[in-house]
Amino acid sequence: MSQQSKANQAAFDIGQMTERMAQGYYMHLAAIQVAKDPRAIFFSANVEPGQIVPVGRIRHEDGTRHEFDFAHYLAQARTNPAMVADLDRLWLVGALLTIGDALAKQSYFDHAPELELLRHLRNGVAHGNTFRINLKLLAKFPAHNRLACALRLGSSPAPAFAHHCAPMFQTFSKSH
């Protein structure tokens, strides 16, 4: 396999993963919305023999498992808005770290400004939301893009992101 096709396969794979992260965030939001409904408990497993509540299980690779009170933690979606907000942030930070780490393994491909922006965001969240910008490196690999320009011009960030950043993710998904 040539170096060029190997890089394109990696770009494709990271693009697919990025798409899964985006779709997964929507799936997470949908699941939380359902969990917030008091009727959600009716979708849980029945109380098993020897248990007094519906039990959820986390299975470990070594075959052991951890059990928890399913109804109690399901109710947290309704009763603990801070936890729901934490889960939303956790999903987004986790996705950013996962995508950034995958890009780092590929040396951020061609260092396109959008990829450099992702690198800075990934590093910032990985280090307590502290951003250390190396100006010499930034001059070599700029991390600005049309999104930043749109925000400076006062455009709404959501349409600017959708319009200007979504093509970056689509680019990853195409084999060149």
- What is the amino acid identity at position 122? R
- Rounded Cα distance, 91 and 86, in Å: 9
Strand, helix or coil for residue 95:
helix
Task: Print pLDDT tens along the chain (176 aa).
Answer: 555 566 589 999 999 999 999 999 999 999 999 999 999 999 888 899 999 999 999 999 999 999 999 999 999 999 999 999 999 889 889 999 999 999 999 998 888 888 888 888 898 888 888 777 777 777 777 776 555 444 444 444 344 344 444 443 343 333 33
pLDDT for 154 equals: 45
DSSP 21-36: HHHHHHHHHHHHHHHH
Tell me the domain boundaries of the chain: 3-40+81-173
- Rounded Cα distance, 98 and 20, in Å: 11
- Rounded Cα distance, 15 and 169, in Å: 6
**Cβ-defined contacts of 158-162 (< 8 Å, 24+):** none
- Indicate whether this model's pTM tops 0.85: no
pLDDT for 134 equals: 73
